[in-house]
A and B are shown apart, each in its own frame.
Chain A
């Protein structure tokens, strides 16, 4: 009897962990579908959402703090897309503002003016950021080259490190955790003899809602349909009057938002520190290719599968090797079935791996 209970325990915690991987993988897919690139900064969106939520949870109610975390991460996702990914041929005041805010974030994080009164330091930060934003926009306009996919990927790698290191300067190297949504770390609910933390139910519920919400969004809303059209054939979609550029920005916002939500709901149990992003990214990417890159519903299934698998491997190998197991699964899938577990054979001949 106890054996079966233990197995259930592993399965449930695996499902919770896996559902988070699924959300990160869906984030990868959203951006991949609209741009064809893998956003290596996806893991940092998750951490950023969690960190901001944790900071605000000290003064605001939990739901408001999480909403702020999602809002900040979404804004950041938009910033990243507008500054680093978009290619514009005309002067774009929006991009200038975004550039200025990135410079402002960097200046504030570096604590260059921290010896001044906070208000003054913000003013000085702005004084530095605004000319840099305008100058940067001018430079981009004059000298930016149109990038190919490989270059865009390298840019997102740069963005991911930039984000991680900035978070290190803002929040330090400490480990933080959001408070439990209901009860405390030791609260458990008994379901047929299996004791689980209510937080697991929160995680599973949130992920189910996200997946269902995305499904409805893509299926029934005009914007969702437009995004699907862009991912199928960008040129044709543009000819139908769809603003593909705006939708790419939107896909970054959406991807960052669900990443941030995932970061917030897992934070109570797994804790958050600035350098967790790369492990989120690796696990999320593994799930994304396990399901077949671009296929979000397969990713949800693959996420649960990987989560349960990982949960059982921790019973056999030390948990410090957990990541190695995941990477080996990723490599095996890449080598033998790059179209994913649920990918069709025809896709294999069409897509480049």
Chain B
């Protein structure tokens, strides 16, 4: 039984490899750029799926957490410490290998904090903020929760636009590559496309495995009970607010992680990446995938983001996402990409065939 639930994972890994090989053989490696970004966005969607689908809450502010991750990562790694290289703290960090001597695109020497340290820092800040926001916000339900999280997103966006180190309306650019291990770096370089595709894939798969195990665990059962009926779950002795908070923080971490890696991959981050529309987009992706279906959300996240990044709808992109959100909610609030739908349809077809054969 335990092995069976890894079958979708195996299928997914094979699909990822097949897509890469097909694209590369067809000499269309430029598709990989958008595919890689789609994989990162799918990671964010998986996190949101835990919070929306399993805990049954709504967040209209996940682009805010995405932004916190990406901006902290970008600010820390683009700050040149060379003028301060004689300061004690800087010298200490340098001596234990937490600083990197690099060169800008113009060839000037720079000294910056290792992306690993930045990542740790970014995630810690995200966790802290998610806790601070989560404790009071998660007491709210329905439209109050939606408005409060939306408000959080607007605050993050306004601060980013108004505070100078965050680059204002231009955002931040020149984020250095993130060397995970020597030789493997998250960057947007053209010759590293295939490698980066797999970096994103591995990160996404790790995220999926974490989510899958969480859902299967005691926590997952508690979350589903909360989704079903919060008061009933509470009366069964489930600490509902704590579980909701942990899931909120975890989904915020997923969003921030996606943000951190995308900041390195695109070498830039800007305010347009974190506006309210992006939060709505994440909600739309989760809704299409089927709120409580991790695999549905993975596929809808990759497909919808890829379509959007390929600019299939040009300036009608937002309209497309709005329409898709409405259509899902009207016709199939449990999502479109659900395995059970396929299974049901196949079952019906089989039954009909059997009947025809008999009659």
Q: Are B158 and A324 in contact (CB under 8 A)?
A: yes
- Residue A323 is within 8 A (CB to CB) of chain B in the complex: yes
Q: Does A147 contact B (CB under 8 A)?
A: yes
Establish whether residues B326 and A158, one from each chain, have CB atoms under 8 Å apart when the complex forms.
yes
Q: Which B289-326 residues have C-beta < 8 A from chain A?
A: 315-316, 318-319, 321-323, 325-326
- Given known A-B contacts A153-B142, A353-B141, A285 and B326 have beta carbons under 8 A apart: no
Which of B60, B143, B319 makes the CB contact (< 8 A) with A162?
B319
Does the CB pair A145–B150 fall under 8 Å? no
B345 to chain A, nearest CB (A): 14
Question: Are B140 and A165 in touch, CB under 8 angstroms?
Answer: no
**Quick one: which of B143, B147, B331 contacts A144, CB cutoff 8 A?**
B331
B169 CB to nearest chain A CB (Å): 11
> Which residues on B sit within 8 Å (CB–CB) of A328?
155
B151 contact from A159, A318, A330, Cβ within 8 A: A330
Contacts of A106 in B (CB 8 A): 319
| B330 close to A (CB within 8 Å) | yes
- Checking B147, B148, B158, B331 against A139 with a beta-carbon cut-off of 8 angstroms, the contacting residue is B331
Complex Cα spacing A330 to B144, Å: 10
* Chain A residue with the shortest CB-CB distance to B159: A324
Stretch at the interface among A7-15, A259-267, A331-339: A331-339
Cα–Cα distance between A180 and B224 once the two chains are bound (Å): 56
By the criterion CB–CB under 8 Å, are B329 and A158 in contact? yes
Distance in Å: Cβ of A70 to nearest Cβ of chain B: 25
Q: Which of A144, A151, A352 contacts B141 (CB 8 A)?
A: A352
Taking a contact as CB atoms under 8 Å apart, the answer to whether B315 and A169 are in contact is: yes
The answer on a CB contact under 8 Å between A144 and B330 is yes
Contacting residues, chain A, for B326 (C-beta < 8 A): 84, 155, 158-159, 162
Residues of B within 8 A of A177 (CB): none
Tell me which residues across on chain B come within 8 A of A155, comparing CB atoms: 325-326, 329-330
Residues of A19-39 contacting chain B, CB below 8 A: 37-38
> Does residue B203 face the partner (Cβ distance < 8 Å to A)?
no
In the assembled complex, the Cα of A318 lies from the Cα of B315 at a distance in Å of: 33
A321 at interface, CB cutoff 8 A: yes
Report A2 CB to chain B, min CB distance, Å.
30
How many residues from B make CB contacts under 8 Å with A?
42
Q: Is the CB of B319 within 8 A of A338?
A: no
Who on chain B is nearest to A326 by CB? B151
**CA A151 – CA B333 in complex, angstroms?**
7
List residues of chain B with CB within 8 A of the CB of A158: 280, 284, 322-323, 325-326, 329
- Residues A323 and B154 in contact, CB atoms below 8 Å apart: yes
Q: Are B322 and A161 in contact (CB under 8 A)?
A: yes
- CB of A278 within 8 Å of the partner chain: yes
Interface check A150, CB cutoff 8 A: yes
Q: With A154-B58, A154-B287, A159-B322 as given contacts, are A37 and B148 in contact (CB-CB < 8 Å)?
A: no
Report the minimal beta-carbon distance from A329 to chain B, rounded to whole angstroms: 10
Mark contacts of B145-172 with chain A using CB atoms, 8 A cut-off: 1 yes-contact digit, 0 otherwise: 0111011101100110110000000000
Is A220 in contact with chain B by the CB < 8 A criterion? Answer: no
Q: Report the nearest A residue to B287, measured CB to CB.
A: A154
- The contact of B322 among A147, A152, A165, by CB within 8 Å, is A165
Interface residues on A, range: 35 or more
Whether A50 is near chain B, meaning CB under 8 Å from some CB there, is: no
State whether the Cβ of B277 lies closer than 8 Å to any Cβ in chain A.
Answer: yes
- Give the chain A neighbours of B142 by CB distance below 8 A: 149-150, 153, 352
Known: A162-B322, A165-B322. A334 touches B144 (CB 8 A): yes
The answer, yes or no, to whether B72 is at the interface (CB within 8 Å) is no
Give every chain A residue within 8 A of B283 (Cβ-Cβ). Answer: 154, 157
B324 to chain A, nearest CB (A): 8
Among B284, B330, B331, find the residue whose CB has the most chain A CB atoms closer than 10 A.
B330
Assembled-state Cα–Cα distance A282/B316 (Å): 25
Contact call A318/B162, Cβ cutoff below 8 A: yes
A38 touches B154 (CB 8 A): no
Name A289's closest neighbour in chain B (CB-CB): B144
- In angstroms, Cα B168 to Cα A335, docked, is 30
B101 interface hit (Cβ, 8 Å) = no
Question: How many angstroms between the C-alpha atoms of A155 and B58 in the bound complex?
Answer: 13
Does B136 lie at the interface of the complex (its beta carbon under 8 Å from any beta carbon of A)? yes
A110 contacts the other chain (Cβ, under 8 Å)?
Answer: yes
A114 smallest CB distance to B (angstroms): 14
A140, A147, A165: the one contacting B329 at CB < 8 Å is A147
Give the Cβ gap from A125 to chain B, nearest Cβ, in Å: 16
In the complex the two chains form, is B151's CB within 8 Å of A165's CB? Answer: no
Contact indicator A327/B155 (Cβ below 8 Å)? yes
**Is the CB of B221 closer than 8 A to any CB of chain A?**
no
A contact residues around B158 at 8 Å (CB) = 320-321, 323-324
Beyond A161-B277, A161-B322, A327-B155, whether A338 also contacts B58 by CB under 8 A is no
A143 within 8 A of B: yes
User: A343 vs B107: C-alpha distance in the bound complex, in angstroms?
Assistant: 64
Tell me, in angstroms, the Cα distance from A188 to B318 when the chains sit together. 42
Question: Chain A residues near B155 (CB, 8 Å)?
Answer: 324, 327-328
A145 touches B144 (CB 8 A): no
Inter-chain contact A330/B148, CB cutoff 8 Å = yes
Interface residue? A313 (CB, 8 A): no
The distance from the CB of A207 to the nearest CB of chain B, in whole angstroms, is 23
| B276 within 8 Å of A (CB atoms) | yes
A169 to B318, CA, bound (A): 12
B139 part of interface (Cβ distance < 8 Å): yes
Residues from 157 to 175 in A contacting B, C-beta threshold 8 Å: 157-159, 161-162, 164-166, 169
Q: Residues of A with Cβ closer than 8 Å to B?
A: 37-38, 40, 84, 106, 110, 139-140, 143-145, 147-155, 157-159, 161-162, 164-166, 169, 278, 282, 285, 289, 318, 320-321, 323-324, 327-328, 330-331, 334-335, 338, 352-353
* A-B pairs, 6 with minimum CB distance: A161-B322, A158-B325, A38-B143, A327-B151, A158-B326, A162-B322
Known: A145-B330, A147-B330. 6 other contacts (CB 8 A): A144-B330, A150-B142, A158-B323, A320-B161, A330-B151, A331-B136
Give me 5 A-to-B residue pairs in the complex whose CB atoms sit less than 8 angstroms apart, sorted by A's number.
A140-B330, A155-B326, A157-B60, A158-B329, A318-B162
